[in-house]
Each structure stands twice: as C-alpha cells, then as structure tokens.
Structure 1
Amino acid sequence: MVTMKDVGLEAGVSAMTVSNVLRGNTNVAPETAQRVREAADKLHYRLNTTSLSARSLRVSTSRHGRNFSTIGLAIFELDRPYPSQLASLISQAAEKRGYQTVVQETRINADNERSIIERVSNQFCDGLIFSSSRLSAAEIEQLSNHRPTVLLDDDRPQQDLDTILTPSEAGAQAAIEYLWHTGKRHIGIIGGLGESPDEHETDESNDTRHRRLMGCRNAFESLGVDWYGVPIIATPWNDADARQAINQNADVVRSCDALFCMTDTTAFGVIRGLKDIGLSVPDDIAVMGFDGIEMGAVMTPSLTTIAVDIPMVAQKAVDMLIERIDDESNRERQRIIADFHIAQRESA
C-alpha cells in the first residue's frame, strides 16, 4: 500500500509536507505543492480523511445522539426533476449512514467544477460525489487533494475513480425495441445535442448522450433499419428547448409515428410541442422517455419511460464513497450500472 512517506520520497519532501499539501494547507510553496500532487497522482495515492475528521478539522454536528461527518455532492443541475430527485435521495442515503451532504450545482461548466471541488476540499468534506464532469479524472483527484470520489454517469476511460452509471445503452436499446414491438416503424430520436456535424456518430465519446445513441443504434441495426436514415433532432435536454425543437422541425416530426426522448424532461417539452403543432399523444404519435422520474407518472398523458432505479444510483454512490473513506487501500475501482425497467403508461 502506498503511504505518505512513499509520496514524499517520490517528490523529495517529508511526509509532513505531503500531509500539509494534500489536506489543503497553504503553508507550502506552490512549486513544492505541485510536485507533491504530481507524485501522488503517479503513485495513485489517496488521502484517508477519516482520521482528519476525527481530529475535528471540520465542523461536526450531533443529531439524535449521532455525530455527522460530511460529503460533498456536485451535481449538474438542481432546477430539473431528475438531478433534484437524485440529489434528494443521495442526501437521504448519506444521512442514514451518518453523513451530512453539502450540495452544489456545476451547470456542467469546467470553471464552476474546479471552484466547487476546491471549496469542498477546503470545507474538510470526507469525500465527493461528482456528476457529468468537464474535467479529467486526474484533475478531479488533484483538485480534491485526493479525497475519495465517486463519479455519477461518467464513463470515460480512467483507472482510479469509482463510478455508477445509468443504463444508457441497454435502456435506449430497450426503448427502441419496445416501440418497434408496439407496431411503430418510423421512430425518431429527440435529444441530440448538435455538437458534431453528424448526429448519428456514436463512437467519439463515452458520455451519456453517446452511450444512449449507441443503444439506439444497436436496436435499429438489430431490427434491420438503416441507422443513418433515422431522424435525430438536436436539442438540449430540457423541456423548453425540446418544445421549441418540435416546432422548428414539425415536418420531420410529422413523418414519425413514435419519438424516443433522451430524458423524461425532454419528453415533457416534446409532448407540449406536439400539441402546439396539432398532434395528439398517443393517438397521432407515441412518446417515450428515459429516466423514470416521479413526475412522469402523474402528467397527462402519463409518460412511458425507461425507469432507472434512481434509489439504487443514490444508495450505491453513497455506499461506494463511504467504502473509500473507510479504507484507504488502493483497491480496484468499481464500475456499477444501475437497473431499469420499462414503465408502460399512456404515452406509448
């Protein structure tokens, strides 16, 4: 097991200097601190913050006779149903394990993410749950002073950080196959982000969008449908932009008998947009989402969707993080894909 002494030998400093740098103390020259962080990266050293917490280097509170430690949650949005529901469930799961949660919003902006990680580190959080980052895994580790970190729905190649993923490929494939088996033969996809000249490209990235598109592609190809002939409409994953995209692409939409939306929030905007152009769901066109957020069950029409086991995502993220906090050994990273089922409702 790699120790602070090993990192110190690699960086040419004492173990105490390593401790000061990785705990965020500012009494070390910047050049020396950078050398220590690079040595820690090279050796894949992780700082065990449990003893740090025990020495009261962060504020603890007591509830119902229990002492609460702290974890940080950096999530991409808090004003959308899926991330807000997930954040709430993570907070509840953490509290059951004796941890409070500090929640901050990244807006998937690299500068925001850097600032948030540094603030979390300076607040002596024991670990971090981080979603949809623009930063590399190495930079996340360095900025967090090597605190234990779990990634949410981030499947980039890397060796060190645990991650839990939504079932993007399997879920999207199941959605297309479900629509096909209900008799739909002209299925469009809503939610391409317009970042490449060809919305059908699926091999450039491991992010959530590309993994869901890959699932769609797998389904169409297994059904004998030309992938490059499938209509894909670009839009950010929110209701307002999705509604506008339907209005702007009305002719393409009218050629479809079903639409698969990359998220439930996108589907909400799509259903409203379809009403704008005079199409009824599901009589004229079927709509299917992806997420399984609670709101989908109570809207009109209720939303057929790929229902991710969101409580599982929250619980596994918390469990993996606490395992890392409690055990500083360099175990092999964990990669977990959440369960899902098709919630069949009125819209498809």
Structure 2
Amino acid sequence: MVTMKDVGREAGVSAMTVSNVLRGNNNVAPQTAERVRAAADKLHYRLNTTSLSARSLRVSTSRNNTQRGTIGLAIFELDRPYPAQLASLISQAAEEHGFQTVVQQTRISESNERSIIERVSNQFCDGLLFSSSRLAADEIEQLSNHRPTVLLDDDRPQQDIDTILTPCEQGAQAAIEYLYHSGRRRIGIVGEDLKNSEFVDNEHDVRHRRMTGCRAACDKLGIRWGDIRIIPTQWTDTAAREAVHEYESTIRDCDALFCMTDTIAFGTIRGLKDIGLDVPNDVAVMGFDGIEMGETMVPSLTTIAVDIKQIADKAVDLLIKRINDQDGHEALPHQRIVADFHIAQRESA
C-alpha cells in the first residue's frame, strides 16, 4: 500500500507537505505542490475523500475564528483524576497555540484505538497524541496515514515517533528511598497486579517500569527484594480499598506503603481507616502522580509529583512542530523526553 511517506520520498518533501498539498492547502510553494501531485499520480496515491471532506469543513469553519487546526488525544480513561487532569492541561496547551482538541477514551483496547484513529483522528485531526497505546508505532503510523503523532508514556523502542514519559523508574526509586530515610523499614508496594494485569509480560509498560524503580532502590539501600511486601491491586481507588481488606495481615506488617499511583493511594488511605490504622502514625502512605486533589485530602498526600503541565506542554509543542513542518527539509530527529518530578512532602508520610 502506497503511503504519504512514499509520495514524499518520491517528491523529495515531508509527509506533512504531501498532506497539505493533497488537502488543498495553499501554504506550499506552487512548484513544490506540482511535484507532489506528480509523485502522487505516478504512485497512484489518492487521499481518503471522507477525510478530505471533513478537513475542508473544519478549515472553512475555522476561518471565522482564531483556531489554526485540530489535534486528537487518545487517552486510556477519563474517569480517573490523573488522565482527566492531563487531558485538561493538553487541551489548554493546544488552545494557547490556536488548536482545538478532540479527546477520545481508549480503555487501552486495540480495537478502540484503531477505531479512534480511522474514524476520528483521520477525519478531523491534523495530528495525534496517543497515551499508553497497545498498538505498535508502525501500525499507528500506517493507520493514521502518517499524520504527526506523539506517544505518551509508551517506552517501547522506536525511532519514528516522539515520546514523552513519566519518570517511572526514577520516581519510584525516589519514593522507596524517601520512605527508608524517614525511618520506615517494613515497606510495602501497592499496585502490582499479579492476577489481573494485561501487561504482566510487558517490560515497557508503566507498572513494570515503576516496579523496576522500586527494585533499584532496594539494591541501592541493601534491602532484600524478598523482604518487600507486595499488595496486588488494579489501579483504581475502589480496588485499592478492597485490597487493604483482602491483604490486611500483610498491611499490618508494614510501617509504610508506596502506592504506584495517587488514585491507589486514595483508596488505600480509605481502606486503612476501615481497618483502624492511622496515617501516618501506624502506616505512612506515599503516592505517585502529583494530581491536584492529593493536596486537599485528609491527610494530604505525600507523593512523587510529576510535572504534568510539562508533559502536556511538551507533547503539544512537539506535535504542533511536526504538523507545521511543511518546508520539505529533513525533519529533526524524533525525541524521547522524560518529565521532571519532585517529592511533594505532606501529611501522609
């Protein structure tokens, strides 16, 4: 199957230049546009007409306002605090650049992701932000007709797509070290899902990378990994609360719990209250994310506070740079960025 990259290679321009020419945009030099059209004819490449119609409708509408284009955001869920906050910040960052955002929820389902790319992104969006995708990078490129794409928290090896990651290994290591240096010695980790994880064999997923950081901390501190208490749970507050009850004997043997997300920490603190344990006097609790509501809960949550705004700003900035790369010159190398973090020390630990 002939792609925009093939046409661009034949014409000596970028895939985005091909896209702009074939969509009828007038921001490409006439000589370049003619070369692109000739290459497309030679390779018998034709743009999807449904996508073109949607693009034309969107462009004609945007002439009456300050919007320059539309980006798609495919995120794993919207009913949890972290992805909801990230989606909001991405939308704000896009608006500052004059772009609108179409947000879709994938539920980390391959079929949902394919549908979002083909039915939403391809018809309405100039570029795509993809969070925790189950699809391979080359498949995303093919399905999206090689539109600019930035992956969020997808650490699989790849060379052709920009990637922005949360500091999973570094942050988790810092959390265990923080708890240890605060005098805690019977540390538990809440969030491994030994029974239900769909990603148990994927060393590049967020869960595995955070566990890797915990192991690194233990190696550094001289803690035997076998002495670490593991409390399995899915990554929801409800499941975490239930896990405290299910693994109560293990929990009572801990003087500190590192929860692999803030949402897990919220459920864990509620569960500890249920079984009569005080936070932080009986058990210290630490989260990972730095979402806003952690500062206002009781007790306020000590956490690995990821710079979520930095993730949103960098992702949008990278994507729009790719969208605007229309000069036909050699594109900049694709980037892999790890977000900053700090320890937000509050009441829970």
> With structure 1 as the length reference, what TM-score do the two structures score?
0.84
CA 1:5–1:217: 2 relative to 1, 3 Å: closer
Task: Please tell me the residue identity of whatever aligns with 2:297.
Answer: M
RMSD: 2.8
Q: Following superposition of structure 1 onto structure 2, how do residues 290-329 of structure 1 map, counting pairs within 5 Å?
A: 290-327=288-325, 329=330
**Does 2:155 correspond to 1:173?**
no
CA 1:78–1:131: 2 relative to 1, 3 Å: same
Structure 2: how far apart are the matches of 1:91 and 1:218? Answer: 35
Give the deviation of 1:15 after TM superposition. 1.4
Structure 2: how far apart are the matches of 1:295 and 1:64? Answer: 38
Give the deviation of 1:62 after TM superposition. 4.4
CA 1:20–1:176: 2 relative to 1, 3 Å: same
Q: 2:280 aligns with which of 279, 282, 287?
A: 282
User: CA deviation digits over 1:236-260, x for unaligned, max 9?
Assistant: 1110000011110000111100000
**Does 2:7 correspond to 1:4?**
yes
**Does 2:102 correspond to 1:102?**
yes
SS in 2 for 1:214: helix
Matched-pair identity in %: 67
User: CA deviation digits over 1:255-287, x for unaligned, max 9?
Assistant: 100000000000000001111111111111000
8 Å CA contact retained: 2:130, 2:150: yes
CA 1:76–1:20: 2 relative to 1, 3 Å: same
Task: Please tell me the residue identity of whatever aligns with 2:266.
Answer: F
CA 1:180–1:60: 2 relative to 1, 3 Å: farther
Structure 2: how far apart are the matches of 1:267 and 1:172? Answer: 14
Structure 2: how far apart are the matches of 1:181 and 1:60? Answer: 60
Number of the residue aligned with 2:265:
267
Number of the residue aligned with 1:225:
223
8 Å CA contact retained: 2:152, 2:164: yes
Give the deviation of 1:325 after TM superposition. 0.7
Q: What are the ranges of 5 or more consecutive residues in structure 2 without an aligned counterpart?
A: 12-37
CA 1:253–1:122: 2 relative to 1, 3 Å: same
Structure 2: how far apart are the matches of 1:104 and 1:235? Answer: 26
Structure 1: how far apart are the matches of 2:110 and 2:213? Answer: 28
Task: Please tell me the residue identity of whatever aligns with 2:336.
Answer: R
Number of the residue aligned with 1:24:
48
8 Å CA contact retained: 2:70, 2:100: yes
User: CA deviation digits over 1:47-82, x for unaligned, max 9?
Assistant: xx9xx89x8364454499513310000001101000
Q: Following superposition of structure 1 onto structure 2, how do residues 83-98 of structure 1 map, counting pairs within 5 Å?
A: 83-98=83-98
8 Å CA contact retained: 1:162, 1:320: yes
Structure 1: how far apart are the matches of 2:287 and 2:306? Answer: 11
8 Å CA contact retained: 2:122, 2:145: no
Task: Please tell me the residue identity of whatever aligns with 2:121.
Answer: S
8 Å CA contact retained: 1:24, 1:121: no
Give the deviation of 1:195 after TM superposition. 5.5
User: CA deviation digits over 1:161-183, x for unaligned, max 9?
Assistant: 10100011110011000000100
User: CA deviation digits over 1:98-157, x for unaligned, max 9?
Assistant: 100000000111111111111233323100000011111111111111100000011101
8 Å CA contact retained: 2:196, 2:234: no
**Does 2:40 correspond to 1:15?**
yes
> With structure 2 as the length reference, what TM-score do the two structures score?
0.84
8 Å CA contact retained: 2:73, 2:101: yes
8 Å CA contact retained: 2:67, 2:100: no
Number of the residue aligned with 2:340:
339
User: CA deviation digits over 1:207-258, x for unaligned, max 9?
Assistant: 1111111111000110001113311111111100000111100001111000
Number of the residue aligned with 2:151:
151
8 Å CA contact retained: 2:7, 2:45: no
> May I ask how many residue pairs the two structures share in their alignment?
316
Structure 2: how far apart are the matches of 1:287 and 1:241? Answer: 16
